[in-house]
Amino acid sequence: MLEVTPIRAFNDNYLWLINPEGSRDCAVVDPGDVAPVLETLKAKGMTLQAIVITHHHGDHTGGIGGLREKFDCPVYGPESPNIPSITHPLGDGDEISILGQTFQVMEIPGHTLDHIAYFAAGTEKSEPLLFCGDTLFAGGCGRVFEGTPPMMHASLQKLAALPAATRVYCAHEYTLANLAFARAVLPEDSLVSERISMEQHRRNQDIPTVPTTIAQEKATNPFLRCDDPMVIEAASRHSGQAAGSPEEVFGVIRRWKDEF
């Protein structure tokens, strides 16, 4: 069973430390900054055995060099010219074993073209895990920087098809801002309102709002509800013209969120 611990970095990033329960061997997901990772490893007396990368943005990759100066460990990530430090390039459908845990690699382009996610199926003793970088957020999704809205929508649908109990470890504390937008799209949705209250209570205590779950996102995240009549109506009202396919609805609300 893996333990997953957030390491806070920059203003709102979460770098994820993973280790088998009771073990001092660990891996880190998306280490954008070396200092907080080294501090955490020292405090916990752990040894870094692997670095796991979801995409090329600097707040996810900036600590690779500094960590490899201290630890001779593999760097798993997308096959991308933007991340020359990757030692084990990965693509859709690949399977890797990290610290005894098997992860399935999923290509999820949109935020960047090289974006991948790592999914670990659950067992009788543990729930499934997903490390999804900046594609799916608690209550929202990443900006479409390099791909297209249909591409991003398809990537989100791949993630939405994972088991409902999957714990979703995204890379930023954006939840309250995302849910404020969700309420603008779905002002009458009681589940969105209840979630805002719950997550605000957590943040008031400085508790991370992630991980979330696939079930919770499908219930309250408008970007996973682009076939929902209420989301379609909101998109059509905002754009001033009838929104058709889920991909079109996604495009409308993603542009709306960009300006929100």
Indicate which residue of 57, 114, 153, 189 is catalytic.
Answer: 57
What domains does the chain contain, in order, with CATH numbers?
2-175+209-218 (3.60.15.10)
Please indicate whether residue 111 is annotated as part of the active site.
Answer: yes
Q: Which two tokens stand for residue 139?
A: 């209550």
Coil, helix or strand for 104? strand
Indicate which residue of 56, 115, 153, 172 is catalytic.
Answer: 172
Please indicate whether residue 115 is annotated as part of the active site.
Answer: no
Indicate which residue of 30, 33, 59, 189 is catalytic.
Answer: 59
Coil, helix or strand for 7? strand
Beta carbons within 8 Å of 230's beta carbon, 6+ residues apart: 186, 188, 189
User: Each residue's pLDDT tens digit in the chain (260 positions)?
Assistant: 899 999 999 999 999 999 999 999 999 999 999 999 999 999 999 999 999 999 999 999 999 999 999 999 999 999 999 999 999 999 999 999 999 999 999 999 999 999 999 999 988 888 999 999 999 999 999 999 999 999 999 999 999 999 999 999 999 999 999 999 999 999 999 999 999 999 999 999 999 999 999 999 999 999 999 999 999 999 999 999 888 899 999 999 999 999 99
Coil, helix or strand for 47? strand
Please indicate whether residue 60 is annotated as part of the active site.
Answer: yes
Please indicate whether residue 114 is annotated as part of the active site.
Answer: no
Q: Where are the beta strands (DSSP E) in the chain?
A: 2-9, 13-20, 25-29, 47-52, 75-78, 88-90, 95-98, 101-107, 116-120, 129-133, 136-137, 140-141, 167-170, 212-213
User: For the whole prediction, is pTM greater than 0.95?
Assistant: yes
Please indicate whether residue 238 is annotated as part of the active site.
Answer: no
Indicate which residue of 55, 56, 115, 153 is catalytic.
Answer: 55
CA distance 4 to 17: 6
Indicate which residue of 30, 33, 56, 60 is catalytic.
Answer: 60
Coil, helix or strand for 85? coil
Indicate which residue of 30, 33, 56, 111 is catalytic.
Answer: 111
Burial of residue 11 (number of CB atoms within 10 Å: 0-12, 13-18, 19+): exposed
Indicate which residue of 30, 33, 134, 189 is catalytic.
Answer: 134
